[in-house]
Amino acid sequence: MSRTVTVAAAQLGPIQKSEGREVAVGRMLRLLERAHQRGAEVVVFPELALTTFFPRWYTENLDDADHWYEQSLPSPATQPLFDAIRRYGLTIYLGYAEIAHEADEQGVVRKRRFNTSVIIAPNGEVILKYRKVHLPGHAEFATHRKVQHLEKRYFEVGNLGFPVVRAPVGRAGLDVNLGMLICNDRRWPEAWRVLGLQQVELVLLGYNTPAVNQDNRGFEAHHLRVLHSQLAIQSGCYQNACFGVAVAKAGKEDGFELFGHSIIVNPQGEIIAMATTWDDELIVADCNLDMCELGRTTIFNFEKHRRPEAYGRIVEQVGSSAPPVWKPSKS
């Protein structure tokens, strides 16, 4: 019998700055109901799914921005989501801004902020938590930008690594190796590989990605934004022999466009489902996890083919360094 799990990408349209969590949660409840009707067992929501993409707004003092973050899960505002997944027997991925009161690297307990995602079991327990490692953008107000991208201001770099866990999903309880990424992480092959080295079978990831690159300097056509996102996800799935569910918050939010094109990708790197609106939209696909075995035991049999002795620079240096210069010794 094949190990098939039915997964749904629950893309959200825009959430305006003026809209409260109850608006987002209400729309998410309708997507959960639809996912249940379509036979889904796992439902993936976007990054920062409960609010507008607030890092586009500058705040001098972060303590004035606490209302964008969750201090606990569930909360009165998010409890209806927990009720719904229990009712439908669904496992979900939820992205949100997290405030945690916990010790930092110096052992001092303080208020910390992360761009976080969790996988929640039908019974409401958190199966796995991940905090975004690859924060894009900048920490200070950038005068040349029409819209800010202040993730490096609003969040600390994630401190949980790239964890993978084997857990039962949905009502049927099929065991699946689950991992997570958030938005910009998907562009970094290192992140995918760390998941692959833990035998991940299903990578869940949400994103909020501007449809226009303000820094393109004339070299990046706008339509390539979607190509780049899909290229990174397709190659990540292929090279690590896993399925990926990548889910957008899409549409014109606070006046700025985020692209949609949420996709579900198989271990061959093929897109097997794709959203085509910039609004709330559910796409569903059956994922036969036996497909992961092919890559893992042949062309991407890591044990047989990887050569870490040649990969040292990946961990030994952060930035790039200039190569040596060669000159001809004769004419």
Per the residue annotation, which of 132, 151, 242, 253 is the catalytic one?
Answer: 132
Query: What single letter denotes the amino acid at residue 3?
Result: R
Between 80 and 269, name the residue whose CB sits nearer to its own copies.
269
The residues, ordered by sequence, that sit 6+ positions from 187 with a Cβ below 8 Å of its Cβ are 134, 228, 229, 232
Site membership for its own copies, residue 1 (CB under 8 A): no
Window 199-258: residues binding its own copies (CB under 8 A): 199-200, 215-217, 219-221, 224, 227-228, 231-232, 234-235, 238-239
Window 98-127: residues binding its own copies (CB under 8 A): 121, 123, 125, 127
Residue from 36, 64, 29 nearest 50 by CA? 29
Query: What is the smallest separation between the CB atom of 100 and its own copies, expressed in angstroms?
Result: 18
Kindly state the greatest CA–CA separation across the chain: 79
Q: Residue 278 in contact with residue 251, Cβ under 8 Å?
A: yes
Question: Does the annotation count 47 as an active-site position?
Answer: yes
Site membership for its own copies, residue 316 (CB under 8 A): yes
Q: Residue 257 in contact with residue 56, Cβ under 8 Å?
A: no
DSSP secondary structure letters along 122-191: TTS-EEEEEE-S---S-SS--TT-SS---HHHH-PPPSS-S-EEEEEETTTTEEEEEEEEEGGGGG-HHH
Of 85, 94, 128, 202, the one binding its own copies by CB under 8 A:
128
Site membership for its own copies, residue 271 (CB under 8 A): no
Site membership for its own copies, residue 307 (CB under 8 A): yes
**Residue 3 Cα to chain centre, angstroms:** 24
x-or-dash pattern for its own copies, window 153-192, by CB under 8 A? ----xx--xxxxxxxx------x-x------x--xxxxxx
Of 37, 72, 268, 276, the one binding its own copies by CB under 8 A:
268
Site membership for its own copies, residue 325 (CB under 8 A): yes
Query: What single letter denotes the amino acid at residue 64?
Result: D
Of 18, 108, 143, 310, the one binding its own copies by CB under 8 A:
310
Q: Catalytic site residues?
A: 47, 132, 183
